[in-house]
Amino acid sequence: MYSQSRRRKISGRQSEESSDDENYVPYIPVKQRKKAQFQNVEMRLGRAAALIKEEEEAIKQSTSEGSEISEREDEDNSGEEEETQGAGERSHISLLDQHSELKKKAEAKKETAREKLLKEEERILESVAEKTALMGVAELAKGIQYQEAIKTGWLPPRCIRELSETRHERLRKKMHILVEGEDLPPPIANFKEMKFPKAIISGLKKKGITKPTPIQIQGIPTVLLGRDMIGIAFTGSGKTLVFTLPIIMFCLEQEKRLPFIKGEGPYGLIICPSRELARQTHEIIQYYSQCLADDGFPLLHCGLCIGGVSVKEQLEVIKAGIHILVATTGRLMDMLNKKMVTLDVCRYLAMDEADRMIDMGFEEDVRTIFSYFKSQRQTLLFSATMPKKIQNFARSALVKPVTVNVGRAGAASLDVIQEVEYVKQEAKMMYLLECLQKTAPPVLIFAEKKQDVDSIHEYLLLKGVEAVAVHGGKDQEERTRSVDQFKHFKKDVLVATDVASKGLDFPDIQHVINYDMPEDIENYVHRIGRTGRCGKTGIATTFINKTVEESILLDLKHLLIEAKQNCPPFLAGMTSESEKYLDIGGEVGCSYCGGLGHRISDCPKLEALQTKQAQNIGRRDYLANNSADW
Ligand code: ADP
Ligand code: MG
């Protein structure tokens, strides 16, 4: 229809033109014709120029709308303009009124700019958020969604149940505990009321533990009630007991009901990001199991499943029937694959330093491990740092989760005195020796690269310092020996890469030295968190120089300010464009990585990830995989 009518129109016009042609056209002198032509060109040019001008104006307008924020500084000027106009129009209104009205307008304008920025950030976060939930493939495929938390046989004692919610709220407030979720479990301020047997209470006492820490006050009842949980608390605040003590109690209950037989189990699984942390957690569980066994309870069996150790030995323990298995993902996946371990009866899963695991690219492995579960499990995630991106993503794996937060996620422990020193690259090694004098041993030195760890180790040995070293390139036997020697005060200094930065609990570390600044701020928080644990204070010294990226220095600067630490002048003097908008909206800093010195729109980590993803398009999966030392 349309084309037909159009065709008709054209033909009509043609016929008009042809009839014009037939008409007589009088002669026009060349001069006049030229003038007319010139005017024509001028007119056409004029329209073109006008069009260009119009276009330019439109662009200007749209950009000024889009980047109102970047022009916020100019707003004062434009405000002034409006003011003079307004004054001309409405000179009968008092100046004060005019001022307040204009101020309101300016505020509203700022508000919308802020909202726009927040919306934009939300969009970025959404676009980078994981598309698939952190669930096993089977659960995803069958669309299984559990609605209710697992039921356990534990109930808070009557005296706690009878307390009103306001009393609970008061205790949480006093302890600076933030909780989120439905049907919040009550906080309990002592171990006895958590109904732990005497054997556990005296075992705790032997370790100098008499009163629960804030994360334990809220976390242990939550776990004992069978609820899924995300636990965020400072390094050294006692998170380990929040997931180990309840699993010991659950296994004891199971064992009493129906003793575990050969080949059965595990009932509880704990996944850790490093072999050393897994060994440490395994030792803690064995300690409390032994306390119980000594008091006449059945002995619980706990297996350890980590790389670098013979599979045969591990398998023997597992085959005898185990209640709890502590594992790193690599070896666990391997053993699950070969059907050496099954998770058929596993009902309890805790991930320690959960965000570090997902962040290091082991999310796919975690998902694979999830797919080996045969029925609903209780899932617990713990860490000192937990960026929003990971919290949202992790929540998809949890059922009616309770989030317990003690201190801002990603904040450093306030018991660590943080010092940052400018040391030239070539002077670092020499200065290290001087720096070691700051405190008595034990001292922990971190470096990013394995070669640096080796050369520092060698240098210290040459200078007569009793030092040991750990990194992913060393064999497991040496790693274990070094850590043990350091832990038992046989060596004064441990030099390590980030394998030793997460979760390891060395007693009484006096000083943590960062030979270099880690590439992301969360690693910094974890590294310095090896000292200043559980009420003790410690020092952290970090070497920085020109080689460190600006964005990470800005994050560091804001972290120091937040923790009320001394900020050296060269850091304090650093500013960036994006710093102006850091505290827009409720959340301070970057919602992707948690860094305080930038917003998500300037996140270097996100940028690096996107570049990596772009590079990996079309590559094979295993090439894209992170191959850290698990
Ligand atoms: P996180 O995992 O939060 O970094 P850990 O669980 O490793 O911290 O605990 C740090 C140290 O604090 C350990 O040596 C532990 O024995 C000790 N600890 C744990 N809970 C308490 C407590 N309630 N009172 C005193 N010390 C505790
Ligand atoms: Mg820990």
- Closest ligand 1 atom to the C-alpha of 529? 4
Q: Give the mean pLDDT of 339-364.
A: 89
**Burial class (CB within 10 angstroms; exposed 0-12, middle 13-18, buried 19+) of 272:** buried
Q: Report the DSSP beta bridge partners of residue 542.
A: 420, 514
Q: Report the DSSP beta bridge partners of residue 388.
A: none
Task: State the DSSP code for 298.
Answer: P
Which range (8-12, 230-234, 310-314) has the least confidence?
8-12
Polymer length of the chain: 630
Q: Which domain holds residue 213?
A: 151-406
Among residues 91, 15, 621, 613, the alpha carbon closest in space to that of 368 is found at 621
The answer to the question of residue 84 being in a domain is no
Q: How many whole angstroms from 233 Cα to the centroid of ligand 2?
A: 9
Q: Give the mean pLDDT of 118-130.
A: 72
The answer to the question of residue 600 being in a domain is no
Which range (233-237, 248-252, 379-383, 612-616) has the least confidence?
612-616
Q: Whose CA is nearest to atom 14 of ligand 1?
A: 505
Ligand 1 pocket test: pick from 230, 534, 536 the residue with the most ligand atoms within 8 Å of its Cβ.
534
Residues 325 and 435 in one domain: no
Residue bearing the bigger pLDDT, 180 or 50: 180
Q: How many whole angstroms from 105 Cα to the centroid of ligand 1?
A: 52
Phi then psi for residue 339, to 5 deg, are 60, 25
Residue bearing the bigger pLDDT, 48 or 589: 589
Q: How many whole angstroms from 208 Cα to the centroid of ligand 1?
A: 10
Q: How many whole angstroms from 440 Cα to the centroid of ligand 1?
A: 22
Residues 377 and 346 in one domain: yes
Q: How many whole angstroms from 550 Cα to the centroid of ligand 2?
A: 30
**pLDDT tens readout for residues 419-459:** 999 999 999 999 999 999 999 999 999 999 999 999 999 99
| 185-192 contacts at long range (C-beta below 8 A, 24 or more positions apart) | 185/156, 185/218, 185/221, 185/222, 185/225, 185/227, 185/402, 186/156, 186/160, 186/161, 186/221, 187/217, 187/218, 187/221, 188/156, 188/160, 188/212, 188/217, 188/220, 188/221, 189/217
Domain end: 387, 406, 425, which one? Answer: 406
**pLDDT tens readout for residues 252-304:** 999 999 999 988 989 999 999 999 999 999 999 999 999 999 999 999 999 99
Q: What residues flank ligand 1, with Cβ below 6 Å? A: 207-209, 211-213, 216, 233, 235-241, 503, 505, 533-534
Check whether 308 has a pLDDT greater than 70. Answer: yes
The answer to the question of residue 52 being in a domain is no
Ligand 1 pocket test: pick from 204, 533, 536, 537 the residue with the most ligand atoms within 8 Å of its Cβ.
533
Residues 425 and 402 in one domain: no
Most confident of the ranges 9-23, 87-101, 215-229: 215-229
The answer to the question of residue 617 being in a domain is no
Domain end: 381, 406, 431, which one? Answer: 406
Question: Measured between alpha carbons, how far is 200 from 245 in angstroms, rounded to an integer?
Answer: 9
The ligand placed nearest to the CA atom of residue 191 is 1
Among residues 197, 176, 303, 196, the alpha carbon closest in space to that of 242 is found at 196
Residue bearing the bigger pLDDT, 383 or 574: 383
Ligand 1 pocket test: pick from 177, 240, 525, 527 the residue with the most ligand atoms within 8 Å of its Cβ.
240
The ligand placed nearest to the CA atom of residue 534 is 1
The answer to the question of residue 86 being in a domain is no
Residue 516, amino acid = D
CATH of the domain at 427: 3.40.50.300
pLDDT at 67: 43
Q: How many whole angstroms from 326 Cα to the centroid of ligand 1?
A: 18
Q: How many whole angstroms from 187 Cα to the centroid of ligand 1?
A: 18
pTM of the model: 0.75
Pairing of strands 229-233, 402-406: parallel
Q: Whose CA is nearest to atom 2 of ligand 1?
A: 239
The answer to the question of residue 301 being in a domain is yes
The ligand placed nearest to the CA atom of residue 533 is 1
Q: How many whole angstroms from 207 Cα to the centroid of ligand 1?
A: 10
Q: Whose CA is nearest to atom 25 of ligand 1?
A: 209
Residues 269 and 388 in one domain: yes
**pLDDT tens readout for residues 475-518:** 999 999 999 999 999 999 999 999 999 899 998 999 999 999 99
Residue bearing the bigger pLDDT, 528 or 628: 528
Among residues 322, 312, 296, the alpha carbon closest in space to that of 198 is found at 296
Q: What percent of the chain has pLDDT over 70?
A: 77
Question: Measured between alpha carbons, how far is 488 from 507 in angstroms, rounded to an integer?
Answer: 9
pLDDT at 324: 97
Q: How many whole angstroms from 88 Cα to the centroid of ligand 2?
A: 67
Residues 389 and 464 in one domain: no
The ligand placed nearest to the CA atom of residue 507 is 1
Q: How many whole angstroms from 277 Cα to the centroid of ligand 1?
A: 14
pLDDT-based confidence at residue 625 (cuts at 50, 70, 90): very low
pLDDT at 489: 95
pLDDT at 69: 40
Residues 438 and 499 in one domain: yes
Q: Whose CA is nearest to atom 15 of ligand 1?
A: 238
pLDDT at 60: 56
The answer to the question of residue 146 being in a domain is no
Residues 382 and 467 in one domain: no
Residues 225 and 274 in one domain: yes
**pLDDT tens readout for residues 102-116:** 888 877 776 677 777
Residue bearing the bigger pLDDT, 537 or 390: 537
Are 308 and 279 spatial neighbours (Cβ–Cβ below 8 Å)? Answer: no
**pLDDT tens readout for residues 52-107:** 454 455 545 544 544 444 444 344 444 333 333 444 445 567 777 888 888 888 77
Are 187 and 218 spatial neighbours (Cβ–Cβ below 8 Å)? Answer: yes
Number of domains in the chain: 2
Residues 220 and 263 in one domain: yes
Are 492 and 465 spatial neighbours (Cβ–Cβ below 8 Å)? Answer: yes
Residues 455 and 400 in one domain: no
The ligand placed nearest to the CA atom of residue 356 is 2
Q: What percent of the chain has pLDDT over 90?
A: 54
The ligand placed nearest to the CA atom of residue 240 is 1
Q: Whose CA is nearest to atom 24 of ligand 1?
A: 209
The answer to the question of residue 397 being in a domain is yes
Q: Whose CA is nearest to atom 5 of ligand 1?
A: 238
**pLDDT tens readout for residues 567-621:** 999 888 887 766 666 665 556 677 777 788 888 878 887 777 777 666 655 544 4
Q: What is the Cα 488 distance to its own chain's centre? A: 32
Are 563 and 553 spatial neighbours (Cβ–Cβ below 8 Å)? Answer: no
- Closest ligand 1 atom to the C-alpha of 352? 2
Residues 444 and 400 in one domain: no
Residues 437 and 330 in one domain: no
